[in-house]
Structure 1
Amino acid sequence: MTAQRLTGTAWLRELKSAPGPATVLVCFPPGGGSVTAYRALAQRVGSGTAVFGVQYPGRQDRLGDAPVPELTELADRAAADLLAWPRDTRLAIFGHSMGATVAYEAARRVEAGGRELTHLFVSGRPAPAFAETGSLHAGPDEGLIADLERLSNDPASVRILRDEPGLAELVLPAVRSDYRAVETYRHEPGAPLRAPITALVSSADPTTSPAQAGEWRDYTAAGFDLATFPGGHFYLDLPENLPAIGDLITRALAAAVPGHSS
């Protein structure tokens, strides 16, 4: 159990506090996203878990910080802050879409730093050996906006980027940087994680099939679970899915706490 309240950083922002938390869950946003992507889910995680989100540069209150277009550098920077927390911190990590791959690379760095990771949750993303073949990051804004519409639960909410050039000028640099990070990432093989992995996927995600999500089992030397939810790529944002996702996370983390019995 973590004896003290953890300090946030430019990269790590507290979303839900817990007194003397048994576990701290750190959530990595999807491409183009920010720490607020996990605000609703954080409240669905059990009372014994504190929740932090990762704030990538180039968005919201970090708009003045240059975006980082290298996925492994995003992992390097976030993991450095995680490793600076007290050694008795029981860490778990969650990531969706691009955030799943960043979360995995951060998990590798946490374990390489001699720290135990309780659990890795990866959502809406093929296993790391999958290589993107697109190059939207090198194309016009229209291509980025069209892809955001394709993946969104509400395409109309993205369409505003066409109608409001000033807003697009603020938002799209970080989006383009994240697309570059994903499209140029190539996995460097290594030892599997010591932490168990749970892969989450939706039934109608155009980016990830359940079979692809199942390939994450090859990246852990511990247990593996696969969970499927209704919805599209951003099924996490659907209010009807939040209770079940929160329960899944809570059960997995509780099972890892010493002395816990179901």
Structure 2
Amino acid sequence: MAAASTRPARWIRRFHPAPDAPTRLICFPHAGGSASYYFPVSRSLAPGIEVLAVQYPGRQDRHADAFVDDIHRIAELVTAELDDELLDRPVALFGHSMGATVAFEVALLLEQQGRIPVALFASGRRAPSRRRDERVHEADDKAIVAELAKAGGTDVGLLDDEEVLNMVLPVIRNDYRAAETYRYRPGARLRCPVVALTGDNDPYVTIDEARAWQDHTSAAFDLRVLPGGHFFLTDRAPEVLETISERLGRALSAPTART
């Protein structure tokens, strides 16, 4: 395998280079999330799977970069950075919540280029064709904080820290706008397998909405329902990682595995 690139990257972070890994997993954060959310995932899966984490603008080392509040545009910008060097081996995509929608759109763009991912893991998100009329991004700061508390996944103490909230609320409002204004564009289904993962007590995704991901692929589909709410994967990380490793191992052993 080729050595890890040292070229600058705006959208992609590589925490644990694994030049000999047979596959790469590109991870997309949730609304308000950042690439570092996937640091533990990268550490756990390396060196067998090399994890690339997407860094959206306006946070962490990209705090000075202008926000992007359109999921289709985010997908275009991420895909543009996925050049031949990053796609020199089979690639899978993993996204949680808003990140699952972004990953889906990136998968569509890659397939238009003839690059078929080995799998799409859609976590904590209803299928793209299943829309809810949500307008949290239009609400005041107090309502957004209440929504964060409802979703879980955020340290409750941080929600009481006014200085921290002043820093993160613009990011969260932007991402909620991106997720809530997203509109699925009907077209060709994915040719890669899709694995949908959801919590059995997620207030944002019903089992039926998660199962509807099967309508977006012409390949194999599987649904995994785990105990928990919207951030079920925090408590169920070992099971999620086992699912990823098992599915990628199976995909790579298949004679049709390709990028």
Report whether the alignment pairs 1:202 with 2:199.
Answer: yes
- Counterpart-to-counterpart distance in 2, 1:214 and 1:117: 20
- Counterpart-to-counterpart distance in 2, 1:69 and 1:180: 6
SS state of the match for residue 64, structure 1?
coil
- The CA RMSD over aligned residues, in Å, is 1.8
Letter in 2 for 1:141: D
* Aligned partners of 2:16 and 2:46 also within 8 Å: no
Extract unaligned runs of 5+ from structure 1.
none
Deviation of residue 41 (structure 1)? 2.3
In structure 2, the CA distance between the partners of 1:46 and 1:228, relative to structure 1 (3 Å rule), is farther
In structure 2, the CA distance between the partners of 1:138 and 1:114, relative to structure 1 (3 Å rule), is same
SS state of the match for residue 40, structure 1?
helix
Question: Which of 221, 227, 247 is the aligned partner of 1:224?
Answer: 221
Extract unaligned runs of 5+ from structure 2.
none
* Aligned partners of 2:22 and 2:48 also within 8 Å: yes
Aligned length: 254
Partner of 1:5: 4
Report whether the alignment pairs 1:38 with 2:38.
Answer: yes
* Aligned partners of 1:148 and 1:158 also within 8 Å: no
Following superposition of structure 1 onto structure 2, how do residues 67-216 of structure 1 map, counting pairs within 5 Å? 67-85=67-85, 87-153=87-153, 156-160=156-160, 163-164=161-162, 166-216=163-213
Partner of 2:239: 244
Q: TM-score, normalised by structure 1?
A: 0.91
Deviation of residue 10 (structure 1)? 1.4
**Percentage of identical aligned residues:** 40
In structure 2, the CA distance between the partners of 1:3 and 1:253, relative to structure 1 (3 Å rule), is same
Letter in 2 for 1:100: A
Partner of 1:235: 232
SS state of the match for residue 99, structure 1?
helix
Give the stretch that moved more between structures: 85-94 or 194-203: 85-94
SS state of the match for residue 15, structure 1?
coil
* Aligned partners of 1:35 and 1:55 also within 8 Å: yes
SS state of the match for residue 83, structure 1?
coil
In structure 2, the CA distance between the partners of 1:90 and 1:102, relative to structure 1 (3 Å rule), is same
SS state of the match for residue 43, structure 1?
helix
Residues 180-230 of structure 1: CA deviation (Å, up to 9, x unaligned): 101111100111111100000011111112221111011111111111111
Q: TM-score, normalised by structure 2?
A: 0.92
In structure 2, the CA distance between the partners of 1:179 and 1:86, relative to structure 1 (3 Å rule), is closer
- Counterpart-to-counterpart distance in 2, 1:46 and 1:225: 24
In structure 2, the CA distance between the partners of 1:86 and 1:69, relative to structure 1 (3 Å rule), is closer
Deviation of residue 259 (structure 1)? 6.5
In structure 2, the CA distance between the partners of 1:247 and 1:46, relative to structure 1 (3 Å rule), is farther
